[in-house]
A and B are shown apart, each in its own frame.
Chain A
């Protein structure tokens, strides 16, 4: 599974600072104009994991772009905001994606911004509706975990981000600095495919964490405990009839959408 994909490799402090300060600049501008933009991807994990964020650099996790979640109803405002910050839009992406995604570039600074409207729609669909007001400057912790766990062909960069998150935040039933496992369990209990991929990837995180020399033994153990508690909570959630019917078919029919590598 481990590979040298996009998002992995050595990255100097100056380059990391460039992304982090640009994120800060965009968030300040969006706050000032009332546009709801919430960071997702590697920078979200860095921002939300002040204690264990150092692991990204230590484990060779690099920033490649800045990703945001936003509401489609504010797409016009997002475009104006990004233009005011010196970005030019690749309009074809918005048209081809039928308004689900915008890409902005600031070529002179080597910066690339991706905005996902209303949902993240890769192997599984994670909806933003009513969730972008919960946390800032990132999406809620539960969506951050799902963002990674919904990727069937999960990469090392996603494993590293997830390990950081599990070390930094406990599970709970709210969105207040805990990973809302109640919400994750409810979503997985209504969609067998999402449950299948999420439980499979949590287990992968547990296994792969044991092989990282950058992690201390107690940290590896903590990741295992966190994964076990999440899986137990997901198991406990009552499942829908559709879930039960789909589970009987199991892996014999593909349960996810094929996508290109996400980053």
Chain B
């Protein structure tokens, strides 16, 4: 049976007021562990969508006290995207994936009779890919995880998708034999395969993005700047004293938003 958007979507929508500040939006995203909110006015009209990526603008542009003050005054209405990219719940997964790929976006608002009833994002599609796998259970090798959060370049792509879904991560770091970061596979890289089907022989080598690194001492603003300029949602954190060594971690747009939601952050003042 052909799967539809309804089968993969996250039901329910979380909303914020158009007047919510970036700090307030950050708190809502962080508290509810979501990456986007629908901006809704007092009459219940859906005005647009605001995501963790949009909130990066706060750190990106707050280069001095004057800019920070200006950014602190911005609201969800100022930064939201409108009109919202939406899809009917009855749309096939393949068609919805095509929309995401063609528009180069990360999520769609799911509607029924024109009313938002949920959200479907890249992670949901990746989970869809992963659920197609029917691993044999004959040997240890068949059931082991080829990648948890880190994998080698020859890891099958389908395995990476499964691991991302199981671990609840949106990306897998690809390293060489010595642990040096070679690239990252994110949910976005897997989206074309939702449309055209996945070749089980494919490995992460074929789809990974080159490693985009940032030093551990860099500021959040620098991280936000690098993400926005390169259109990436995550960066590999390295130690500039030893850049070839196994990475220290990954910072994502969501991590920055979580920091913005921290009560001690400048965005909560």
B228 touches A253 (CB 8 A): no
> Which chain B residue has the least Cβ–Cβ distance from A248?
B79
* Residues 42-55 of chain B, each 1 if its beta carbon lies under 8 Å from chain A, else 0: 00000000000110
Q: Is B33 an interface residue (CB 8 A)?
A: no
- Judge if A242 is at the interface, Cβ distance under 8 Å: yes
Residues of A within 8 A of B160 (CB): none
CB within 8 Å for A242 and B229 given contacts A248-B57, A248-B79, A249-B57: yes
* Residues in A whose Cβ lies below 8 Å from that of B132: none
The yes or no answer to B211 lying at the interface (CB within 8 A) is no
A245 touches B231 (CB 8 A): no
Q: Which residues of B contact A169 (CB under 8 A)?
A: none
For A242, list chain B residues within 8 Å (CB): 228-229, 231
Describe B's contact surface by its main secondary structure: helix
> For A254, what are the chain B residues with a Cβ–Cβ distance below 8 Å?
66-67
Cα distance A113–B66 in the bound complex, in angstroms = 36
Q: Which residues of A contact B228 (CB under 8 A)?
A: 241-242, 245
Whose C-beta in chain B lies nearest to the C-beta of A255?
B61
Find residues 239-260 in chain A having any chain B CB closer than 8 Å to their own CB. 240-242, 245-246, 248-249, 252-254
The range of chain B's interface size is 10 to 19
Q: A253-B67, A254-B66, A254-B67 are in contact. Are A245 and B54 (CB under 8 A)?
A: yes
Does B74 sit at the interface, judged by CB under 8 A?
yes
Residues of A with C-beta under 8 A to B231: 240-242
Cβ-defined contact, A253 with B229, below 8 A: no
- Minimum CB–CB distance from A143 to chain B (whole Å) comes to 22
| Residues of chain A lying within 8 A (CB to CB) of residue B57 | 245-246, 248-249
Q: How many Å lie between the Cα of A245 and that of B78 in the bound state?
A: 10
Measured CB to CB, the closest approach of chain B to A156, in angstroms, equals: 29
The residue that B71 contacts in the complex, of A240, A241, A245, A253, with Cβ under 8 A, is A253
Cα A254 to Cα B68 with chains together (Å): 11
CA A55 to CA B233, docked complex, whole Å: 51
Residues on A with beta carbons closer than 8 Å to the beta carbon of B61: 246, 249, 253
| Complex interface: chain A residues within 8 A of B104 (CB) | 241
Residue contact A253 to B54, C-beta cutoff 8 Å: no
Determine how close the nearest CB of chain B comes to the CB of A188; give it in whole angstroms. Answer: 15
In the complex, A253→B79 CA distance in Å?
A: 13
* B-chain residues with CB within 8 Å of residue A252 when the two chains form the complex: 70-71, 73-74, 78
Q: From residue B216, how far is it (CB to closest CB) to chain A in Å?
A: 24
Residues of A within 8 A of B66 (CB): 254
Which residue on B lies nearest to A240, using beta carbons?
A: B231
User: Nearest Cβ in chain B — how far from A233, in angstroms?
Assistant: 22
* Residues on A with beta carbons closer than 8 Å to the beta carbon of B71: 249, 252-253
Instruction: Give complex CA distance A241, B253 in Å.
Output: 14
Q: How far is the CB of A214 from chain B (nearest CB, A)?
A: 41
Minimum CB–CB distance from A146 to chain B (whole Å) comes to 19
Q: Please indicate the chain A residues that have their CB under 8 angstroms from the CB of B78 in the complex.
A: 248-249, 252
B residues with a Cβ closer than 8 A to A are: 53-54, 56-57, 60-61, 66-67, 70-71, 73-74, 78-79, 104, 228-229, 231
Could you show 28 A-B contacts with beta carbons less than 8 Å apart? Answer: A240-B231, A241-B104, A241-B231, A242-B229, A245-B53, A245-B54, A245-B56, A245-B57, A245-B60, A245-B79, A245-B228, A248-B54, A248-B57, A248-B79, A249-B57, A249-B61, A249-B71, A249-B74, A249-B78, A249-B79, A252-B70, A252-B71, A252-B73, A252-B74, A253-B61, A253-B67, A253-B70, A253-B71
Which 4 A-B residue pairs are closest in the complex by CB-CB distance? A242-B228, A253-B67, A252-B70, A253-B61
